[in-house]
Structure 1
Amino acid sequence: MNFPSKLIENAVEEISKLPGIGKKTALRLALHLLKRDEKQTLSLSEALVAMRSKTRYCRQCHNISDDELCGICTGNRREQGVICVVEDTRDVLAIENTSQYKGLYHVLGGIISPLEGVGPNDLNIESLVQRISGNTEVKEVILGLSPTMEGDTTAFYLTKRLKPFDVKITTIARGIPIGGDLEYADEITLGRSIVSRIVFE
């Protein structure tokens, strides 16, 4: 791709490093930013720099936060006795958007993946163990991890680590999505759905 300016080329190179953005989209975005009022482009760049340099992580659950403790951990209406363990902040946002969960979270910061060199010590597992061992109020830990090989490995490891404590360990339901056709479901999902069947109400 030929660029009329080295400055445009550098901008396109950086923008195209973002996930899901190729060179053509990056060029379109760069040219759009160039056409915008300079104040708007500066506001965008300042917001990105501030996000990168000032964002903190909650010392209790490791979710993204503006303060030492996030709004969920300090929320008065949250169920203190239930902790949902998730891989990252995107999972917290997805669950929060359902408006069905009122407990607390614990963000692992990834999942165990030997192929990618990620082990238990690379995740926020020790802080979860400490959080539960020093808190008799916690009655249930929900493993809200993706139903993949790595997710199941992480869930198995967490179950072993949390076994000594008097907490109920559950996992999010897995099965056929609402509106899905059985013929398109893979064998593992369909098998799990049959094994974990529920009473029809």
Structure 2
Amino acid sequence: MTLPEPLERLVEELQRLPTVGPKTALRLAFHLLSAPDAQVQALAQSLLDVKSKLRTCSRCGHLSDKELCAVCRDPRRDTSVLCVVATARDLMAVERTREFRGLYHVLGGLISPLDGIGPSELRIQALLDRLEVEKPGELVLATNPTVAGEATALYLFRLLSARNLRITRLALGLPVGSDLEYADEVTLGRAFAGRHEISAKL
């Protein structure tokens, strides 16, 4: 199919998005083509804003448009419990459960030697620094129940087990090999409510 060059370029760019194939990209392109100018301009501006105005929270690593994210700025949060997650998307998944009222620490990924990601590529040193300053009583390891998630949780447990710190893991109920962001609120909420202390074997 021969398309005008601007339309073809738009379709190509849309196909770069996750799960968007050629047919979906073409359908989205024609939708944008028929949309009011103001709507298209608002979309374009929001895309520019999300790249230029978002940063990571200087405390926890979550996404924010300010120095501290909304969670870290909230005085009602329980500072005695710190939940470690891999990504901002996982943090948002936990927040949707309304089960956890503590603070978070976003690692920025999971340990995965095959992908060239070791502990030094993650925000583990920042976590150690926070533990020294904030001294929470409990650390919840809320990494995905995947090989990389379990490896990361085990690494953190061994690194921190000598500290006077309760270290817990989310309860099973989350399917092995699944991602937190795809878990429904009830399942994830129950996993939080049933979290347990972990041993070296996890």
Q: TM-score, normalised by structure 1?
A: 0.84
Q: Would the alpha carbon gap of residues 115 and 43 (structure 1) be closer, same or farther in structure 2, given more than 3 Å must change?
A: same
Give SS of 1:34's match: helix
**1:111-122 correspondence to structure 2 within 5 Å:** 111-122=110-121
**1:21-60 correspondence to structure 2 within 5 Å:** 21-60=20-59
Give SS of 1:97's match: helix
Q: Would the alpha carbon gap of residues 105 and 30 (structure 1) be closer, same or farther in structure 2, given more than 3 Å must change?
A: same
**Inter-partner Cα distance in structure 2 for 1:79 and 1:164:** 23
Q: Would the alpha carbon gap of residues 176 and 133 (structure 1) be closer, same or farther in structure 2, given more than 3 Å must change?
A: closer
Give the letter aligned to residue 173 of structure 2. Answer: G
* Percent of aligned pairs sharing the same letter: 43
**Inter-partner Cα distance in structure 2 for 1:119 and 1:153:** 11
Q: Which structure 2 residue ranges, 5 or more long, are not aligned?
A: 176-193, 197-202
Give the letter aligned to residue 20 of structure 1. Answer: T
Give the letter aligned to residue 101 of structure 2. Answer: K
| Cα shift at 1:176 | 6.8
**Inter-partner Cα distance in structure 1 for 2:174 and 2:157:** 25
Give the letter aligned to residue 99 of structure 2. Answer: Q
Q: Which structure 1 residue ranges, 5 or more long, are not aligned?
A: 178-195
Give the letter aligned to residue 140 of structure 2. Answer: I
Give the letter aligned to residue 77 of structure 1. Answer: R
The 8 Å contact of residues 133 and 165 in structure 1, kept in 2 or not, is answered as: no
Residue matched to 1:74? 73
The 8 Å contact of residues 58 and 68 in structure 2, kept in 1 or not, is answered as: yes
Q: Which runs of 4+ in 1 moved over 4 A?
A: none
Give the letter aligned to residue 34 of structure 1. Answer: L
Pairwise CA RMSD: 1.6
- Equivalences, count: 177
**Inter-partner Cα distance in structure 2 for 1:93 and 1:3:** 42
Which is higher, the Rg of structure 1 or of structure 2?
Answer: 1
Cα deviation, 1:97-133, whole Å, max 9, x if unaligned, reads: 1111100000111000011111111111100011002
Higher RCO (CA < 8 A, seq sep 6+): 2
